[in-house]
Structure 1
Amino acid sequence: KKTLARVIKRIFAGYLIIKTFQSMSKIFEDIKKTIAEAEADVTKFYAGNNAAGARVRKAMQTLKDLAQTLRKDVLETKNSR
């Protein structure tokens, strides 16, 4: 016999899983987008364009932050299961 509270709890848990998945999917898409955008600057830097190096460093810092956020979300999701 399910009580209303248990039903609401399951619905809310399902909602949180969907929202977490959407959040992780967005972060992962942002990681792929950042890599794609940085690719041209990496090529330019190694061809001698020093200004592209600053853009590469900025992109790599963004990647680091995104990866850390995704890593944290994955760990929180794993621990909540």
Structure 2
Amino acid sequence: MGWVSGIVVFFLIWWTALFAVLPIGTRPNPEGDPETGWRGVPERPRLLRKVLLTTVVSAVLWLGVYVLVESEWLSFRSGWLALPEK
């Protein structure tokens, strides 16, 4: 995997992991808006902690993807997944 495709894969994993991490530990405003009842944005979203957690999770997942792509275990050039030669 080249460095450009590595960065693209990391960004895609990071973005997906962000949506998985965002709801962790959030609690809506218990009172809400007195007129509409809308509870809105969480009181303490802790976004910096979630971004750091997302980065760590993404780095681990990216490392797994990198090892899988670079290994011969899952290869389209040789082995049981090989494409037929012309």
TM range (shorter): 0.3 to 0.5
Q: Which structure would you say has the larger RCO, counting Cα contacts within 8 Å and 6 or more residues apart?
A: 1
User: TM-score scaled to structure 1, two decimals?
Assistant: 0.35
Q: Which one has a bigger Cα radius of gyration?
A: 2
Q: Which has the higher helix share?
A: 1
User: TM-score scaled to structure 2, two decimals?
Assistant: 0.34
